[in-house]
Chains A and B, each alone.
Chain A
């Protein structure tokens, strides 16, 4: 795993992750668009969700509505973060400087996608606070001690999935188009806001392969009751699987990008 010729590979690995995470969280947190995506939009969705739950059959599950809206925000942040970060770096011209660095590209990408999912965590916190403060939603999670770990699992699992998406986005000049089309389907198929039970049978496999489904299930279980540990583990396992795929894909992707010249817009 060492990107450098030194014997202290693991130390440098974690250092690279930490410095990269700090850099990209800072950079994302200072972007107006990113904050609208990570904070403002989730609050609007939370408002909508609270009124929908009140109007529907579940006025007692408002906390889940707020958490669900937050999870929607986490996914948006990862989706547009991974796609947008690559596209933005292409616009900014930094993608070339990243690729020309003597560090493996997968190691460069990892902190970027984890940064996007960490920024997505803003939305979970924001929607819950919004629900409690504005809508008097009682903050009484079923497993209060498991909620924070479950949220962390969610961030990590989605960050890992983001790496595979970012890898694909390096290749695609139209990464935005793909990203724009992927938010609603994933919200729907992973049951972040409402359960997938009423969806047709053929959609089950889609639900199962999405780490978002399991991460959402864990967070929702910690909020409304149910098993937290098992879905958390599945989410992490799936995430790790995506990282593995991404690592394999990236070797090829980087070579493809170098031969097709898709790193710049010019």
Chain B
């Protein structure tokens, strides 16, 4: 095997295996209940709130919350990709591997990106159908681009939070908190005009806010190329979180060797 195929194998095959091993939500009840039904109701809930309070129209909430739905598999998945290693006591064995950390951890993110993409496609389809909103064919290409970038940045964000799992015992505190914070800061549920400056400032460093802006611009009649600046912002956020994730994982790995404190925290 060449070095390249070996690297690809580690990234894709290893990533896929880790998804099956560590993501607890792949059983049909969990997948349907948590990844599909719950976010769909989230769309309906906010549409209902938006209608009652007269804040924004149905499409505003559909687009925002469809993208937000990716945070369920991506944030929780990214965290489980590391945290469950601790839970199963396999983290030490993984860290003994001589292979590249970038490929090991990077590969783990790929299945969640795919999962997040599928979830967003489902939300968009089911949500449009239920709310009777049009889904123009001309928007599909842009839609796909937004979904890929959004899922990637959210999964890398999840991985960065997951890195904390090497040190923190009750990491699901973080996943629940992060998940809730995204509901507020991503701008999925508050129109830009209603958002205070500090909130949008924080949101611009978190995943999804740029992607949601891009998607709304697309549906407001923007061209596919016109959304690229926003998508670029989302991609920058993704790269930033990737760097944070990589840095944290390397740092904690080094620290735990230095302090012999891998599994005792």
Contact = CB atoms under 8 A, between A and B. Distances in A.
Q: Do any beta carbons of A and B sit within 8 angstroms of each other in the complex?
A: yes
B194 A36 contact: no
A51 B53 contact: no
A41 B177 CA distance: 7
A40 B172 CA distance: 13
A194 B53 contact: yes
A178 B34 CA distance: 8
Interface string A158-177: 00000000000000001011
A199 B51 CA distance: 10
Given A44-B181, A48-B190, A33 B172 contact: yes
Interface residues of A, number: 37
Given A176-B30, A185-B41, A48 B48 contact: no
Contacts of B132: none
Which 10 pairs of residues, A with B, have the shortest CB-CB distance?
Answer: A56-B53, A177-B33, A55-B194, A184-B41, A32-B173, A174-B29, A194-B52, A180-B34, A177-B29, A181-B33
Contacts of B191: 55
A227 to B, nearest CB: 21
Interface in A50-73: 51-58
Nearest to A47: B184
Most chain B Cβ neighbours within 10 Å, of A54, A184, A195: A184
Interface string A178-202: 1011011101100001110111000
B130 to A, nearest CB: 12
B180 A40 contact: yes
B30 A188 contact: no
Contacts of A184: 38, 41-42, 44-45
Nearest to A54: B194
A37 interface: yes
Contacts of A32: 170, 172-173
Contacts of B177: 36, 40-41
Interface string B159-178: 00000000000101100110
Interface of A: 31-33, 35-37, 40-41, 44-45, 47-48, 51-58, 174, 176-178, 180-181, 183-185, 187-188, 193-195, 197-199
Given A52-B53, A55-B53, 14 more contacts: A33-B173, A35-B173, A37-B176, A41-B180, A48-B189, A52-B194, A55-B190, A56-B54, A58-B53, A176-B34, A184-B38, A184-B45, A188-B45, A194-B49
B37 interface: yes
Interface string B19-63: 000000001011011100110011011001101111100000000
Given A174-B29, A180-B34, A180-B38, A55 B193 contact: yes
B129 interface: no
A48 B33 contact: no
A102 B44 CA distance: 46
A238 to B, nearest CB: 22
B8 interface: no
B48 A188 contact: yes
7 contacts: A48-B189, A55-B190, A177-B33, A184-B42, A185-B45, A198-B48, A198-B52
A35 B180 CA distance: 13
A56 B45 contact: no
B183 interface: yes
Contact of B55 (A37, A52, A188, A199): A52
A180 B199 CA distance: 27
